[in-house]
Chains A and B, each alone.
Chain A
Amino acid sequence: MAPMTDAFSAASVADPMIPRVARVVRRKREIADVVTLEIEGGAFDFAPGQFNMLTAFGVGEAAISVSGDPANRTRLIHTIRAVGAVSRALKELHVGEPIGLRGPFGRGWPMREAEGRDVIVVAGGLGLAPLRPALYRLFAEREKYGRILLLFGARSPADILFRDELEAWRGRLDIEVEATVDHARGEWCGNVGVVTTLLSRAQFDAANALAMLCGPEIMMRFVANALLERGVAQERIYLSMERNMKCAIGWCGHCQFGPVFICRDGPVFPYSQLRGLIGKKEI
């Protein structure tokens, strides 16, 4: 009899609702309640900004963006924050344990459209995770872009995700990295204030800039408004949206957001498409 892994893999070709089984090969605690899992079990192709449905067996499935390097096709990296039953179970997975996987799903960041432009990447909190594959791609193909700015906001210094990597990027001369926190005690010497304050000091060519935003919706709304005020076209301000997912393939309607399905048409959308919807209490 074929091993269970193969049976699942074969089935996943036929039925996109059946997860294949992969294995956790590395687990890293990032900050409180957030871990990064590295997964093996096949070749993984994805575009920056796409997500997978991850299963904690016996508990359920959750949509989780890929946070690793798209150039690495043998190992899949996801960064997960424990907020409920599924994400908590995923966070507790240990090295060697199986994990279910469907995907990748959705449309990612507009990497091609960003070419030849100044790129402003604005991340809030865990929003840095879905943007990290785009950053790896931008850095790998640095010559294709104008200025690259990474503006990152977190709740406090202890909540800064991928801190070592941010430090390393900050040391590069060909990108600008600024971080800010909402509150800090004496030991923090960096910026304090909402992420929009970083934007007001940032230098870029608004007429030829493209922005990628990921974070809490309210933060993206304020950042988008600040970018519009600076003269960035609404068609070139991209946001990654989150809604509850069930099927992730446009069947169930769970993730419907006005006329679009987040799973199929997004999660990345230009602001021009969301403008009338985002911020509304109910759609």
Chain B
Amino acid sequence: MIESIERIVQEHRFFAGMDAGFVALVSGCAKNARFDPGQYLFHEGDSADWFFLLRNGSVAIELRDPARGAVTVQTLHEGELCGLSWLVPPYRWTYDARAIEQVRAIAVDAACLRRKSEADPRLGYDMMKRFMPPLVERLQAARMQMIDIYGAHD
């Protein structure tokens, strides 16, 4: 079981080129997860105990607005990372994540990985380098969405 999860972790795009020792450390915190269409991976306000690396299927990132209901602000797909809040205290989700279709993912135990990263800062730094690009991309995307580029402007 551990062996197969190691292989899955190693082959996931997000971990491309990762040192074998680190793959083993991450795999020790990882397991397979599956979500049916409509099922939530997590909800806003919940403690961010896991993050997910998508292997198949798509996930909608939703914000809940009492006036408008759920608004999808982003969809995530195969090869992408779902969940960044596990990295930053107070480790709580700031949005809902809903499976749009059948999703298969690698679920990583966040507390476990945080502990291992504290113990070995080289692992922590490697993880930071992998998490920073999607984080920055999402920040840029949020800025573009915020200025409403397709709208008519005076």
Contact = CB atoms under 8 A, between A and B. Distances in A.
Interface string A232-247: 0000000000000000
B150 A124 contact: yes
Interface of A: 33, 81, 83, 124-126, 153-155, 159, 180, 182-186, 188-194, 196-197, 201, 215-216, 218-219, 222
A215 B144 CA distance: 13
Sorted from nearest, which 9 A-B pairs have the closest CB atoms? A125-B150, A155-B150, A216-B149, A192-B72, A184-B72, A192-B75, A194-B141, A182-B145, A193-B74
Contacts of A81: 152
B103 interface: no
A186 B100 CA distance: 10
B100 A193 contact: no
A219 B145 CA distance: 11
Contacts of B68: 185
Nearest to A180: B75
Q: Interface residues of A: mostly helix, strand, loop or mixed?
A: mixed
B12 interface: no
Nearest to A126: B150
B108 to A, nearest CB: 22
B150 to A, nearest CB: 4
Nearest to A217: B149
B150 A185 contact: no
Contacts of A201: 77, 79
A179 to B, nearest CB: 12
A189 B100 contact: yes
A219 B147 CA distance: 11
B151 interface: yes
B69 A186 contact: yes
Contact of B75 (A126, A191, A196): A191
B59 to A, nearest CB: 11
Interface in B74-128: 74-75, 77, 79, 100
B135 interface: no
B70 A194 contact: no
Interface in B57-77: 60-61, 68-75, 77
Of A124, A182, A183, A188, most buried by chain B (CB within 10 Å of CB) is: A182
B150 A182 contact: yes
A183 B73 contact: yes
Contacts of A180: 75
Contacts of B145: 182-183, 194
B148 interface: yes
B149 A124 contact: yes
A196 B151 CA distance: 18
A192 B150 contact: no
Contacts of B74: 192-193, 197
Contacts of B150: 124-126, 153-155, 159, 182, 215-216, 219
Nearest to B141: A194
B103 to A, nearest CB: 14
Contact of B69 (A125, A185, A188, A190): A185
Interface string B1-21: 000000000000000000000
A122 B145 CA distance: 17
Contact of A183 (B72, B77, B79, B149): B72
Contacts of A189: 100
Of B75, B147, B151, most buried by chain A (CB within 10 Å of CB) is: B75
30 contacts: A33-B152, A124-B150, A125-B149, A125-B150, A126-B150, A153-B150, A154-B150, A155-B148, A155-B150, A182-B144, A182-B145, A183-B71, A183-B145, A184-B72, A185-B69, A186-B69, A186-B70, A191-B75, A191-B77, A192-B60, A192-B61, A192-B73, A193-B141, A194-B145, A201-B79, A215-B149, A215-B150, A218-B149, A219-B149, A219-B150
Contacts of A126: 150
Interface string B130-154: 0000000000110011011111100
A194 B144 contact: yes
Nearest to B77: A201
B71 A222 contact: no
